[in-house]
Homo-oligomer: A and B are copies of this chain.
Amino acid sequence: MRPRLEDVAAHAGLSAKTVSRVLNNEPNVRESTRRRVAVSIEALDYLPNPSARSLAANRSFIVALLYDNPSPSYVMEVQTGVLQVCDSYSYGMMAQPIDSSSADLVSRVAKLISSRRPDGLVLTPPITEHPGVIAELRTRDIPFTCISPREPDTFSGVALDETAASCDMVEHLVSLGHTSIAHIIGHPRHGGSELRLKGYAEGLARSGLLYRESLVLQGQFSYQSGVECAHRFLIAENRPTAIFAANDDMAAGVISTALEMGLRIPDDLSVCGFDDTPISRQVWPSITTIHQPCLDMGRIAATELFKIIHHNVKANMVLANYSLCVRASTGKPSTSGR
C-alpha cells in the first residue's frame, strides 16, 4: 500500500498534523521540523491522496476550462497555458467543452459546477458573453476569470486591445497605398468581432478614409464564410484592393476565392487576418495577421484565477501584447490591375 500522512509522521517522529502543516505551507512550523518532514516524505516517496485532501478541505483542487470555440488551435493553446499554471499549483484542470448556444446553457454550467465542484473557472469567448452564466457564477460566488470578454472593465482575466490591433492593421494597409479596404466581420456572438470592426473603422478614420457600408460584410469566423464574403466583394464593379478579415480562417477563405478567380495575391488583392493561427503560416501566400498570444493568455487567466483561489487577492484584468505579423499576403496595390 501507499504511504499515508500518518506513515510520514511516524517516520519523522512527529504528528500527522505537523506533516500536514508542512505539506500545505502553513506557518508556525520550525524550519528544522520542516526539513525533517521533507526528508521523510522523500524517503517514503509520499504523495498526498487528492480525494482525501479534497474531502477534508472541502476543495477540489481542480480548475475548469470552459470553451466553445471552433478553432482547435485556439483552444489547445489556451488549454496548454492554463494547464501549465495549474501544474505549478499542483492543481488539476478539467477541459469542459460546452455548447454556448444551447437554451439550457446556464443549467448545464450549474450542473457541471455542482458535480465536479471546481475551485475556479476560466471562461473563453463566446461563453464570456453570456450574462446568465456570469450571473450564475457570481451568485454562487465561485472564482472565475475571463479571456477576452466583450467588456474587459467589468471582469478579471486577460484581454487584448483588439481595437488598437485592428486599427494598426488598417494603417499597415494604408501605408502600402490601399484606399479601398474591405472588412469581413467575425461571428456576431463573439465580442472580438465588434472590437475588430471598431478598430477597422478607427483605422479608416485616422487615415482620412471613408467607412463605406458596401465594404463591410458579416462573416462567421469560418473559412466558408470567408469564401462567401470574398466572392461578393470580388465580383463587384469596383472591387477593393485589400480585404481585412476578422480572423485567419476567413482570410484563408478569401485567399482561396481570389486564387480561384485568377487574381494574384498580393498584386491584385491584399488579404489579412487576425489571430496568427497555424493556417496563416501554412497557406500560400502566407497571411499577414495579428499575433494573439493565446498560450500566454491562458497562463495569465489561470494566474489571475489563482490570485483569488489561493491568495485571496483581488484579480485584475491584464492586457496582453499583440503584434503585427507582416507576411506575404499584403503588398502594394498594383497600379495596372483592374
Contact = CB atoms under 8 A, between A and B. Distances in A.
Interface of A: 47, 49-55, 60, 72-73, 75-77, 79-80, 83, 90, 92-95, 97, 111, 114-117, 223, 249, 252-253, 255-256, 259-260, 278-279, 281-284, 286
B93 A47 contact: no
Contact of A83 (B54, B95, B252, B259): B95
Contact of A75 (B51, B76, B97, B116): B76
Given A93-B95, A94-B92, A282 B80 contact: no
| Closest 9 pairs (CB-CB, A-B) | A51-B54, A256-B284, A72-B76, A51-B55, A72-B73, A72-B72, A259-B284, A252-B282, A223-B282
Contacts of A279: 278-279, 282
Given A50-B115, A282-B256, A283-B282, A77 B83 contact: no
Contacts of A259: 284
Contacts of A278: 72, 223, 279
Contacts of A80: 97
Identical subunits present: 2
Contacts of A111: 47
A220 B125 CA distance: 33
User: What's the dominant secondary structure at chain A's contact region?
Assistant: helix
Most chain B beta carbons < 10 A, residue from A223, A278, A282? A282
Nearest to A53: B51
A54 B223 CA distance: 44
Given A76-B76, A92-B94, A255-B284, A51 B47 contact: no
A49 B51 CA distance: 10
Contacts of A286: 256
A283 B50 CA distance: 46
Given A279-B279, A284-B283, A50 B116 contact: yes
Contacts of A83: 95, 97
Contacts of A54: 50-51, 54
A66 to B, nearest CB: 13
